[in-house]
């Protein structure tokens, strides 16, 4: 059996893995023993040196001594013998050459130690001990060179120096075989032990291989189970991931639905059979003055103090749950957190469970409080409108543009038109027939124009059934919808017969008064003309130039007023005169009265197109007469040429009268507010009458400027 185990030829039949494990184990043994011998031989060398130093440190010649050659032999020869095996053991561990070198070196070292110890028989045990150590390699081949070295040593020394090995000078030539035989004796047992050891190593290798095979099977099984577990884990992870995804999506959907119901201004909520809120949105939470989380789990009774209302709501909920039918509640009232009544329009629907029953009710309540308020206001407005429409004397009517039919007409219709209100359709159809034939076309045209967005205000006659003709004022205006489209026409028909008649009387009276007023102005003008003529006749008897000038001034002043009345009665408007026209006449008269030469003094007039009332025109005319007269008389002495400029500007809310000349100007010490001439007094007085302000600029010529307000209180002179 041992033979079969240790036979290298039999390895072919072995499991390669067994051989591999055996070789690996054997290599470990080789290398481990190599390392052991590396240490052992190093210590052995040191021990040899120590032994030499102890036994024969010195050689003597009388009293002289020197190092004993044994010491040098122990140091150097021991180092040489040990060097190769140690080097091989360190550099080539496990190699067969190393083992052979160790075997040879170890035997040589034994020989050296025997020498160093003086051939002590005890030292020969080193040889046998070394063989035992060499058997640690578990390689019987190593014992061969060791045995050969021992045999060769004894053979050679037996031949050449028998006494050194056998202790006799003439030993038998075969005696070395005796010594070698003892070595072989030990080697034989060592070889047997080595083979047993190798057999055990094979057994270990086979068992290791079997364990490995079992382990591999176990590992394969474990790997298979691990793969199954990994696959199961992956499946589980996938399911977990899907579940997380589903949970995430569900959370997103819940969040989305939460936002949807929270954004819904209606109250969205659900209750269970006990009336507890199970789902609420932000709107109802806000109405109850709490958060969504606070509201869930509570009942109406926690917020609504009206127990009757709470019980009514709960009864409705139970009815929906029990009957499994949807219920619509047009109006119901709750009291919100602020104590205000809130009107709701609610739809209640049962939330069905998988078994077809219901334990909750879903409710969507629309807050119609605003609508109720509007409806109430509308009713009040309608009532007010109705009261207004039914109590006014005017006829209020409304027609639809779509079919041009009357949709409303106030009761005054009967009174104004003298007809009974049978039906709105009849009124619509017969309205035009009630209009005077001469006025129908105007009404039809106006009615057509209103479709284009413009209203009308029309006066026309209507014919009453009793033959009476009445004037009415019909004012209609379009009514547009939110898109700006006209869909109705509303109108008011007012009986203006009496007013019309009164207006005619007023017109007649006014015409009479205008005639009378023109006659008055005419007569005033004539009277002033008489006064002027009288003054003219009187002046002809006066030789004094000054007195004559005074007369002439007075004539011009009267003339200036007469021109106003003349202009008034010749104009259409008896209350105002065209001031430009008047001023042209006035300047022409003044020029003629002072016989000025047009080529010497040029009068320029620049007057805005304004009409002045008589109480403004008279002072202005007198002022211009005074200033123009002064300029004509004093500004241009001898043959001096120049200009007189008269402007009258209409400002934003005032008038500016400016009279200037390019004459010699006034004296340097002249002040308009202190001038004592009649003309200046008259100008100051008239300026005050106009509530104006007088300014005088004396430079190149003279400029008088009077600024007075457009609207002023009339100051009587």
Partner 1 sequence: MRLTGRRITLIGAFAIWVVAVAVGLALLWRYENTSGANASPPPQWPVASTVKAATDRATLVMLVHPRCPCSRATIGELARLMAQTQDRLKAYALFVKPEGTSEDWEKTDLWRSAIDIPGVEVVMDDGEEARRFNAVTSGQTVVYDAEGHLLFSGGITGSRGHSGDNPGRSAIVSLVNGGDEKKSESAVFGCPLFGPHSACKESEDD
Which residues here bind partner 1, judged by CB under 8 A? 55-65, 68-70, 73, 76-77, 80-81, 83-84, 87, 97, 101, 108, 111-112, 115, 118-120, 161, 163-164, 166-169
Closer to partner 1 by CB, 64 or 673: give it: 64
Residue appearing with tokens 């106009």: 690
Tell me the C-alpha distance between 506 and 171, whole Å. Answer: 193
In the bound complex, what is the minimum distance in angstroms from residue 101's beta carbon to partner 1? 7
3-state percent helix, strand, coil for the chain, nearest multiple of 5: 60, 20, 20
> How many alpha carbons fall within 13 Å on the CB side of residue 648?
22
Q: How far is the CB of 230 from partner 1 (least distance, A)?
A: 50
Minimum CB distance to partner 1 smaller for 44 or for 629: 44
* Of residues 277, 264, 288, 296, the one with CA closest to residue 365: 264
CB of 176 to partner 1, least distance (A): 16
Task: Say how many residues make up the chain.
Answer: 717
683: its two tokens: 């100008």
- The C-alpha atoms of residue 390 and residue 198 are separated, in whole angstroms, by 137
Name which of 161 and 185 has its Cβ closer to partner 1.
161
φ/ψ region of 139 (left if φ > 0, alpha if ψ in -120 to 50, else beta) reads: beta
Shortest reach from residue 71's CB to partner 1, in Å: 10
Alpha helix (H) residue ranges in 264-365: 282-287, 292-295, 307-323
Q: Are strands 601-607 and 642-650 parallel, antiparallel or unpaired?
A: parallel
CB-nearer residue toward partner 1: 79 or 640: 79
Strands 327-335 and 341-352: antiparallel
Give least dist CB 89 to partner 1, A.
14
Residue 93 C-beta: closest distance to partner 1, Å: 14
Q: Are 450 and 456 in contact (CB under 8 A)?
A: yes
Q: What sign has the CA pseudo-torsion 637, 640, 645, 646?
A: positive
Nearest to partner 1 of 97, 220 (CB atom): 97
What DSSP assignment string belongs to 364-387?
Answer: EEEE-HHHHHHHHHHHHHHHHHHH
Dihedral sign (CA 408, 411, 416, 419) = positive
Q: Left, alpha or beta for 505 (phi > 0: left; psi -120 to 50: alpha)?
A: alpha
When the beta carbons of 58 and 207 are compared against partner 1, the nearer one is 58
The residue among 93 and 701 lying less far from partner 1, judged by its C-beta, is 93
Residue 520 to residues 417, 586, 611: CA-CA distances in angstroms? 46, 21, 20
Among the listed residues 135, 113, 125, 133, the one whose alpha carbon sits nearest the alpha carbon of residue 49: 113
CB of 121 to partner 1, least distance (A): 8
Kindly tell me which of 80 and 240 has the beta carbon lying closer to partner 1. 80
d(CA 45, CA 371): 121
Identify which of residues 112 and 458 has a Cβ nearer to partner 1 in the complex.
Answer: 112
Q: Nearer Cβ to partner 1, position 168 or 714? A: 168
The residue to which tokens 């076309």 are assigned: 441
Beta bridge partners of 701: 699
Taking the complex as a whole, how short is the minimal distance between the CB of residue 144 and partner 1, in angstroms?
17
Report, in Å, the least distance between residue 77 CB and partner 1. 4
Task: Write down the least CB distance from residue 54 to partner 1, Å.
Answer: 10
Q: How far is the CB of 131 from partner 1 (least distance, A)?
A: 19
Q: Which of 106, 111, 113, 153 is nearest to 133 (CA)?
A: 106
Nearer to partner 1, 5 or 109 (CB): 109
Task: Please answer whether residues 395 and 493 qualify as being in contact, where contact means their C-beta atoms are separated by less than 8 angstroms.
Answer: yes
Nearer to partner 1, 86 or 292 (CB): 86
Q: CB nearer to partner 1: give 111 or 635.
A: 111
CA distance 31 to 23: 12
What is the closest distance, in whole angstroms, from the C-beta atom of residue 18 to partner 1 in the complex?
A: 29
CB of 169 to partner 1, least distance (A): 6
- Sorted by sequence, the CB contacts under 8 Å of residue 693 that are 6+ apart come out as 687, 706, 707, 708
Q: Where are the alpha helices (DSSP H) in 354-450?
A: 369-391, 412-417, 424-434, 437-450
Residue among 76 and 174 whose Cβ is closer to partner 1: 76
Residue 80 Cβ vs partner 1, minimum distance, rounded to whole Å: 5
């Amino acid at each position: 059996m041992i033979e079969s185990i240790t036979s290298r030829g039999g390895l072919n039949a072995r499991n390669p893995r067994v051989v591999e494990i055996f070789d690996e184990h054997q290599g470990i043994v080789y290398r481990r023993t190599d390392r052991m011998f590396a240490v052992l031989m190093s210590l052995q060398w040191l021990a040899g040196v120590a032994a030499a130093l102890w036994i024969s440190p010195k050689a003597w010649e009388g009293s002289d001594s020197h190092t004993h050659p044994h010491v040098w032999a122990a140091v150097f020869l021991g180092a040489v013998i040990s060097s190769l095996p140690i080097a091989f053991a360190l550099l080539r561990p496990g190699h067969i050459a190393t083992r052979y070198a160790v075997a040879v070196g170890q035997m040589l070292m034994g020989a050296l130690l025997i020498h160093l110890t003086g051939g002590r028989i005890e030292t020969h045990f080193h040889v046998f001990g070394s063989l035992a150590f060499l058997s640690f390699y578990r390689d019987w081949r190593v014992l061969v060179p060791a045995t050969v070295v021992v045999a060769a040593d004894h053979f050679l020394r037996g031949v050449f120096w028998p006494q050194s090995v056998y202790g006799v000078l003439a030993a038998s030539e075969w005696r070395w075989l005796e010594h070698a035989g003892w070595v072989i004796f030990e080697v034989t047992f060592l070889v047997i032990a080595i083979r047993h050891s190798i057999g055990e190593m094979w057994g270990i290798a086979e068992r290791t291989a079997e364990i490995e095979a079992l382990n591999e099977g176990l590992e394969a099984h474990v790997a298979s189970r691990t793969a199954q577990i990994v696959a199961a884990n992956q499946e589980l992870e996938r399911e977990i991931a899907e579940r997380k995804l589903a949970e995430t999506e569900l959370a997103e959907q819940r969040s989305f639905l939460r936002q949807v119901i929270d954004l819904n201004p209606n109250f969205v909520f659900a209750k269970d059979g006990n009336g507890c809120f199970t789902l609420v949105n932000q709107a109802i939470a806000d109405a109850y003055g709490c958060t969504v989380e606070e509201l869930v789990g509570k009942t109406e009774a926690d917020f609504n103090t009206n127990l009757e209302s709470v019980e009514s709501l709960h009864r409705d909920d139970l009815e929906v749950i029990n009957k499994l039918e949807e219920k619509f509640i047009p109006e119901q009232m709750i009291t919100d957190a602020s104590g205000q009544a809130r009107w709701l329009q609610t739809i209640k629907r049962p939330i069905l469970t998988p078994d077809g029953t219901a334990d909750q009710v879903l409710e969507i309540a629309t807050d119609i409080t605003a609508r109720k308020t509007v409806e109430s206001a509308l009713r009040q407005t309608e009532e007010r409108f109705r009261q207004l429409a039914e109590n006014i004397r005017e006829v209020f009517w409304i027609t639809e543009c779509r079919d041009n039919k009357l949709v409303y007409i106030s009761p005054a219709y009967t009174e104004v038109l003298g007809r009974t209100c049978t039906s709105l359709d009849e009124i619509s159809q017969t309205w035009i027939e009630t209009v005077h034939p001469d006025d129908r076309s105007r009404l039809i045209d106006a009615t057509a124009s209103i479709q284009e967005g413009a209203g009308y205000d029309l006066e026309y006659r209507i014919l009453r059934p009793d033959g009476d003709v009445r004037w009415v004022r019909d004012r209609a205006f379009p009514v547009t919808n939110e898109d700006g489209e006209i869909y109705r026409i509303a109108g008011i028909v007012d009986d203006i017969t009496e007013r019309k008649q009164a207006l005619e009387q007023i017109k007649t009276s006014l015409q009479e008064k205008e005639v009378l007023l023109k006659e008055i102005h005419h007569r005033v003008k004539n009277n002033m003309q008489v006064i002027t003529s009288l003054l003219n006749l009187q002046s002809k008897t006066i030789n004094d130039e000054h007195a004559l000038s005074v007369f002439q001034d007075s004539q011009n002043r009267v003339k200036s007023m007469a021109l106003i009345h003349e202009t008034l009665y010749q104009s259409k408007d008896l209350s105002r005169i065209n001031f430009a026209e008047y001023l042209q006449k006035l300047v022409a008269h003044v020029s003629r009265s002072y016989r000025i030469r047009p080529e010497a003094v040029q009068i320029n007039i620049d007057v805005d197109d304004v009409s002045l009332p008589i109480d403004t025109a008279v002072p202005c005319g007198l002022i211009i007469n005074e200033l123009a007269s002064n300029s004509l008389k004093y500004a241009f002495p001898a043959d001096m040429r120049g200009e007189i400029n008269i402007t009258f500007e209409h400002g934003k809310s005032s008038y500016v009268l400016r009279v200037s000349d390019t004459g010699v100007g006034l004296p340097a010490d002249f002040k308009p507010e202190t001038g004592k001439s009649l003309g200046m007094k008259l100008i100051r007085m008239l300026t005050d009458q106009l509530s104006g302000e007088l300014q005088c600029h004396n430079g190149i010529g003279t400029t008088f400027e009077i600024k007075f307000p457009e609207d002023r209180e009339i100051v009587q002179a």
